[in-house]
Amino acid sequence: MTSIRPTCVRPRARALRKDCAPSPEHRGRSRRCCRHPDPGRDAGLPAYAGGHGHRHASTFPVRRRKFNAEELDRRRDDYAYLKQQRRAGATLQDHLDRPASFARFGDAADEALIESVRDLSAIPFPPDVPGFLRQHGSFKGDDALKALSVWPLGEMQRLSADDTAQWQRVRSRGLVDAIRWTWGNDRPDLEPGRAHAVISVEQAGSLDSRYTVIGRWTCPRLEGSGHLYFDGEGRSGIFHYHQDESPVHRLSGDSPARMNWDKLMNAALTEVLDPDGYD
């Protein structure tokens, strides 16, 4: 029997446990316990290629690693409580090894896969996104991070096939199409011609051609979601959508996107760790 934490709650930071202090030979190299491997550990600080061959360090993997380290500490505390209550049905290592709730990168995407999904977007990837895709492929955060994700390209490609069930099919990764897809392609406010539609065919086409969605986070308790997108100028942003409100008009003028890829991922992580939602 495992303990259950409420979803959409900011994980609490914890101090380094005394029983997991680094051994003398590792002291100074790592603040993490050397006896328990960190399942989210990255080798060094990656740099994603930007425009004109420039590369910039990405801080998002470091924050992901920190979150996973805190998740391990939470599990140790959970296990200690379960053991005290005589409800621990597994070993501590089994409890630590459960994959759920860890923030995980996916499988690296090769050039052929990246090229195969270009038709799903009317605009090209920003310069620093392909580097992330080649190195990590995707990202998944589960409930502890409000399901923050960067969608796997292979899944996008597979679900764009003509024989895919209507409720699953990816029409495109344009803003309107992507939001509809996350609702099983049944979102009346974003279906031009339907009684509750808030946009026309022309407006939907314009938004799809100007903005591409690459992932999102969502939290049922907040009845809202944040869609990670980029525009034709290579800038990124987060579009907040609520099930009872369709603020797509906010994107009808000049693009509000102002971030590069790493700033976008860090901004999204900050949002999902906010227990009160977003502004």
Whether 42 maps to a domain, the answer reads yes
Whether 162 maps to a domain, the answer reads yes
Phi, psi of 211, deg, nearest 5: -135, 135
Whole-number Å distance between alpha carbons of 145 and 114: 26
Instruction: Look at residue 12 and tell me whether its pLDDT is greater than 50.
Output: no
Average model confidence (pLDDT) for the chain? 77
Which pLDDT band, with edges at 50, 70 and 90, does 99 fall under?
A: low
Q: How far is CA 179 from CA 216, 217, 269, in A?
A: 9, 12, 20
Q: What is the pLDDT of residue 242?
A: 84
Q: How confident is the model over 186-242, as pLDDT tens digits?
A: 988 899 888 888 889 999 999 999 999 999 998 766 678 899 999 999 999 999 988
Domain count along the chain: 1
Mean pLDDT of 19-37: 34
Instruction: Look at residue 183 and tell me whether its pLDDT is greater than 80.
Output: yes
Whether 278 maps to a domain, the answer reads no
Q: What is the pLDDT of residue 103?
A: 81
Which pLDDT band, with edges at 50, 70 and 90, does 155 fall under?
A: very high
Whether 5 maps to a domain, the answer reads no
Whether 11 maps to a domain, the answer reads no
8, 275 in Cβ contact below 8 A? yes
The pair of three-digit structure tokens given for residue 204, joined into one six-digit string = 């939907």
Task: Find where tokens 């998002």 sit.
Answer: 60
Q: What is the pLDDT of residue 30?
A: 35
Contacts of 10 (CB under 8 A, 6+ apart): 273, 274, 275
- Percent of the chain whose predicted confidence (pLDDT) is above 70: 75
CATH number at residue 93: 3.40.1580.10
Which of these, 81, 69, 84, lies nearest to 12 by C-alpha position?
A: 69
Domain region containing 183? 18-272
Least confident of 20-34, 149-163, 188-202: 20-34
92, 76 in Cβ contact below 8 A? yes
Burial 243-264 (b: 16+ CB within 10 A, else e): eeebebeebeeeeebebbbbbb
Instruction: Look at residue 24 and tell me whether its pLDDT is greater than 60.
Output: no
Whether 277 maps to a domain, the answer reads no
Assessment of whether the complete model's pTM goes beyond 0.85 = no
Whether 9 maps to a domain, the answer reads no
Higher model confidence: residue 210 or residue 96? Answer: 210
> Can you give the three-state secondary structure of 119-146, one letter per residue?
HHCCCCCCCCHHHHHHHCCCEECCHHHC
Whether 279 maps to a domain, the answer reads no
Mean pLDDT of 159-181: 95
227, 174 in Cβ contact below 8 A? no
